[in-house]
């Protein structure tokens, strides 16, 4: 089995998990990059916050109003300083609930909550702050949700519980096997073609409002109006630095020298920011109510081709690509760039799981030299 399946696909794929794992972030890094509404409130000193979706705002500053975080709709800390546990949050919505434990991992625990009105919710809890654990996942799900292209679980609330932990509450999806592959391909293409919901991305910048994680690895997302520079420095360069291996560093330096800092790989290609899932492999793809769904994101706004860096572990067949290419034809040079995008994930797997991915990582770099 693929190592990520062993580590992350628990409870038969019923929970949404690892891409939000921000415990790997250093303590000092996050506050410098996370917008004020995500970091601790200067008024109350805590980081509980909610999301406004379809007019629903829970326990937030300026009830009924949204504060902008990079164009994403997110409400800020409660002026009263109120911090609620999961059960208290449901009680505040006038719901009586029961729950089922779906299992978990070393960084989170997952539950299915059922309210007395019959509605079901997915709840994930963690032992660290919401700003570290759930901001990236919540905003990533919201970014994909707003494209209206796929069945994405709707995020309702996330925040600290006042006991040293945090949680995220979202719509519960009854996950099944994959939907029709051609329909999935078309749906992912529609997500890539949709206008981003973030002001910076609409203006042509690449990145995301907050840092997040790819598996358990920190993923920086500082805005950059140059895609090639963004991917060179914040994706491959970042992973090579984390690896700390001299051969990788030397080979990567040669790649940058031969390709003019990767620019020659993109000659004749216009790159626009697309909403990306960011970690699209088989464990993050299913169906819900007959519709294609993807979850557990490492979302950012980037080149649509970067989505295929995990396709070696996604099982996309001919019908998937037929559906996708009906809307987004293949650009010249894609096969070489595909190796570049795969390199990012192979390096990440090396940093997460060790030497089994070393050879693939170096081979992909060497293929870019040919």
pLDDT for 146: 97
Query: How many structural domains comprise the chain?
Result: 2
Clarify whether residues 151 and 236 are in a common domain.
no
Clarify whether residues 191 and 291 are in a common domain.
yes
CATH of the domain at 156: 3.30.200.20
pLDDT for 114: 97
Clarify whether residues 203 and 131 are in a common domain.
no
Clarify whether residues 159 and 212 are in a common domain.
no
Clarify whether residues 235 and 146 are in a common domain.
no
pLDDT for 160: 95
Q: Which of 126, 151, 171 is the last residue of a domain?
A: 171
3-state secondary structure the chain: CCHHHHHHCCHHHCCCCHHHCCCCCCCCHHHHHCCCCCCCCCCCCCCCEECCECCECCCCCCCCCCEEECCEEECCCCCCCCCCCHHHHHHHCCCCEEEEEEEECCCCEEEEEEECCCCEEEEEEECCCHHHHCHHHHHHHHHHHCCCCCCCCCEEEEEECCCCCEEEEEECCCEECCCCHHHHHHHHHHHHHCCCCCHHHHCCCEECCCCEEECCEEECCCCECCHHHHHHHHHHHHHHHHHCCHHHHHHHHHHHHHCCCCHHHHCCCCCCCEEECCCCCHHHEEEECCEEEECCCCCEEECHHHHHHHHHHCCCCHHHHHHHHHHCCCCCCHHHHHHHHHHHHHHHHHHHHCHHHHHHHHHHHHHCCC
pLDDT for 132: 86
| Catalytic machinery residues | 279
pLDDT for 24: 34
Averaged pLDDT, groups of 10, the chain, 370 residues long = 39 38 33 28 30 32 33 37 88 96 88 96 93 92 97 95 95 90 97 97 98 92 98 98 98 98 97 98 94 95 98 96 98 97 98 97 97
Clarify whether residues 190 and 166 are in a common domain.
no
Is 62 domain-assigned? no
Clarify whether residues 162 and 231 are in a common domain.
no
pLDDT for 105: 80
Clarify whether residues 202 and 327 are in a common domain.
yes
Clarify whether residues 326 and 253 are in a common domain.
yes
pLDDT for 230: 98
pLDDT for 45: 28
pLDDT for 90: 96
Q: Which of 140, 171, 202 is the last residue of a domain?
A: 171
Clarify whether residues 356 and 227 are in a common domain.
yes
CATH of the domain at 304: 3.90.1200.10
Residue 104, domain extent:
86-171
pLDDT for 214: 92
Clarify whether residues 149 and 193 are in a common domain.
no
pLDDT for 31: 28
């Amino acid at each position: 089995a693929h190592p990520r399946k062993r580590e992350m696909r628990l409870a038969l794929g019923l929970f949404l998990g690892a891409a939000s794992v921000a415990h790997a972030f250093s303590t000092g890094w996050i506050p410098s990059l996370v917008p004020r509404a995500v970091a601790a409130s200067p008024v109350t000193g805590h980081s509980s916050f909610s999301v406004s979706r379809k007019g629903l705002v829970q326990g937030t500053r300026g009830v009924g109003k949204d504060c902008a975080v990079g164009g994403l709709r997110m409400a800020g800390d409660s002026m009263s300083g109120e911090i609620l546990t999961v059960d208290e949050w449901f009680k505040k919505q006038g719901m009586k609930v029961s729950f089922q434990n779906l299992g978990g991992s070393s960084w989170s625990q997952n539950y299915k909550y059922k309210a007395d009105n019959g509605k079901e919710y997915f709840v994930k809890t963690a032992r660290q702050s919401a700003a570290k654990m759930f901001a990236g996942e919540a905003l990533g799900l919201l970014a994909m949700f707003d494209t209206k292209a796929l069945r994405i679980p709707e995020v309702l609330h996330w925040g600290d519980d006042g006991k040293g932990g945090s949680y995220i509450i979202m719509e519960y999806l009854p996950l099944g096997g994959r939907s029709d592959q051609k329909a999935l391909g078309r749906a992912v293409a529609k997500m890539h073609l949709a206008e981003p919901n973030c002001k910076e991305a609409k203006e042509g910048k690449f990145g995301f409002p907050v840092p997040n994680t790819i598996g358990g690895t920190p993923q920086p997302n500082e805005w950059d109006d140059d895609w090639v520079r963004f991917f060179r420095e914040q994706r491959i360069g970042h992973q090579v630095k984390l690896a700390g291996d001299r051969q990788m560093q030397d080979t990567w330096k040669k790649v940058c020298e031969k390709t003019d800092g990767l620019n020659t790989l993109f000659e004749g290609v216009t790159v626009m920011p697309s909403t990306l899932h960011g970690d699209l492999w088989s464990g993050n793809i299913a169906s819900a109510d007959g519709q294609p769904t993807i979850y557990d994101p490492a979302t950012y706004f980037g080149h649509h081709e970067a989505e295929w860096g995990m396709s070696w572990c996604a099982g996309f067949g001919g019908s998937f690509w037929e559906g996708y290419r009906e809307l987004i034809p293949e650009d010249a040079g894609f096969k070489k760039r595909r190796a570049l995008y795969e390199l990012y994930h192979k390096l990440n797997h090396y940093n997460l799981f060790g030497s089994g991915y070393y050879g693939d990582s170096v081979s992909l770099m060497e293929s870019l030299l040919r």
